[in-house]
Amino acid sequence: MISVRNLTKRYAGHTAVDDISFEVDRGEIVGFLGPNGAGKSTTMRILTCYLSATQGAASVGGFDTFKDSIEVRKRIGYMPENVPLYDDMRVKEYLHFRAQLKGLRGRSARRAAGEAMDTCSLQDVRRKMIGTLSKGYRQRVGLADALVNKPELLILDEPTNGLDPNQIRQVRELIKHLGERHTILISTHILSEVEMTATRVIIIDKGRIKASDTPQNLIRRLHSSGTVHMEVKAKPKQVIEKIETLSDIKNAIHIGTSQGWSTIDVHAFSNVDIREQLSSLAQEQNWPLRELYRDTASLEDAFVDITRS
């Protein structure tokens, strides 16, 4: 659906996108992640024909974004970083207008606007002026605009930017639902959102692609496998000595002791689950054990690991 080959974009001497290549297949939900200034919006603007590349090529559905921009735009619904909306239009009127601009006529334009309002839960505010809407509703009008002509591909640039946790949850559910029918390329800083919705993640940093894989694989590639927290009724020094004789253990750290219960954090080498070993050890040593749980690594840990260096 998307093919990007050796794409470079320079702004007056500054390279925003530096020789990147990637593909997105039909049906994928791809999280496009990176620190601020990494080149995400620039790449999205090139894909949506709003910007030309300095070098390289991009195509959508087999059409070149530079030479066949009309065909490309027909296939894309784009929600830019700052959604430009007409404040003095009513929601319904605006979406009808946008549907017409995208080539729908008469009854089908009206029906498309209605369906987009249904999908984005906008029916309650359909008669309201856009300028009077809250940020959450405005973002949803932007989404409804992007999908009003049922494009195959949605390109969403930080669609949850500025929303509160409830609104983020609603938009996340909506995107999951949209993913059943559309291919999606989405940029966001809310990594838990991507971890739950994306089939693949592309991480870009300083204009270069650093990783492209499923969220699960990126987490698995991390050099640590998280921390196991353990609380036992025993002398911490003795507990640590015993734990460090086990195989696969990187270290064990005494966090604190209260009323005889010692809290120990245990780190293992990557991809090893040491909980079973620890519980057997506690049993052997007759240490009363009241807590043993693993803090698993998250996509956020993987993101920090990949973009830190």
User: Which stretches of the chain bind ligand ADP, using CB under 6 A?
Assistant: 11, 14, 16, 34, 36-42
Rounded Cα–Cα distance for residues 57 and 190 (Å): 29
Give Cβ neighbours of residue 236 (< 8 Å, ≥ 6 apart): 254, 257, 262, 264
Q: Does 59 bind Mg ion (CB under 5 A)?
A: no
DSSP state, residue 59: E
What counts of helices (H) and strands (E) characterise the chain? 11, 14
Judged by beta carbon distances under 5 to 8 A according to partner kind, the member of Mg ion, ligand ADP, none in contact with residue 225 is none
Q: From the CB of 157, what's the least distance to Mg ion, in Å?
A: 6
Beta strands in 25-105 (DSSP E): 29-33, 55-60, 63-64, 76-79
Q: Does 43 bind Mg ion (CB under 5 A)?
A: no
Q: How many residues bind Mg ion (CB under 5 A)?
A: 2
Judged by beta carbon distances under 5 to 8 A according to partner kind, the member of ligand ADP, Mg ion, none in contact with residue 39 is ligand ADP
The token pair at 24 is: 């997105």
Decide whether 90 or 206 has the Cβ nearer to ligand ADP: 206
The token pair at 159 is: 């669609």
Q: Does 41 bind Mg ion (CB under 5 A)?
A: yes
Residue whose Cβ sits closest to Mg ion? 41
Decide whether 40 or 92 has the Cβ nearer to Mg ion: 40
Which stretch, 36-44, 71-79, 229-237, 258-266, contacts Mg ion (CB under 5 A)?
A: 36-44
Amino acid at the residue 188: T
Single out the residue of 113, 199, 186 nearest to residue 150, CA to CA: 113
Single out the residue of 144, 163, 162 nearest to residue 154, CA to CA: 144
Q: From the CB of 41, what's the least distance to Mg ion, in Å?
A: 3
Q: From the CB of 12, what's the least distance to ligand ADP, in Å?
A: 6
Side-chain half-sphere exposure of 196, counting CA atoms within 13 A: 14
Decide whether 40 or 73 has the Cβ nearer to Mg ion: 40
Amino acid at the residue 291: E
Decide whether 114 or 159 has the Cβ nearer to ligand ADP: 159
Q: From the CB of 21, what's the least distance to ligand ADP, in Å?
A: 17
Q: From the CB of 161, what's the least distance to Mg ion, in Å?
A: 9
Q: From the CB of 303, what's the least distance to ligand ADP, in Å?
A: 13
Dihedral of the alpha carbons of 32, 38, 39, 40, in degrees to the nearest 10: 20
Decide whether 10 or 128 has the Cβ nearer to ligand ADP: 10
- Binders of Mg ion among residues 268 to 297 (CB under 5 A) are none
User: Cβ–Cβ contacts within 10 Å for residue 309, how many?
Assistant: 6
- 224-233 and 55-60: which strand pairing? unpaired
Decide whether 79 or 274 has the Cβ nearer to Mg ion: 79
Q: From the CB of 40, what's the least distance to Mg ion, in Å?
A: 5
Decide whether 41 or 100 has the Cβ nearer to ligand ADP: 41
Rounded Cα–Cα distance for residues 107 and 90 (Å): 18
- Which residues are near Mg ion by CB under 5 A? 40-41
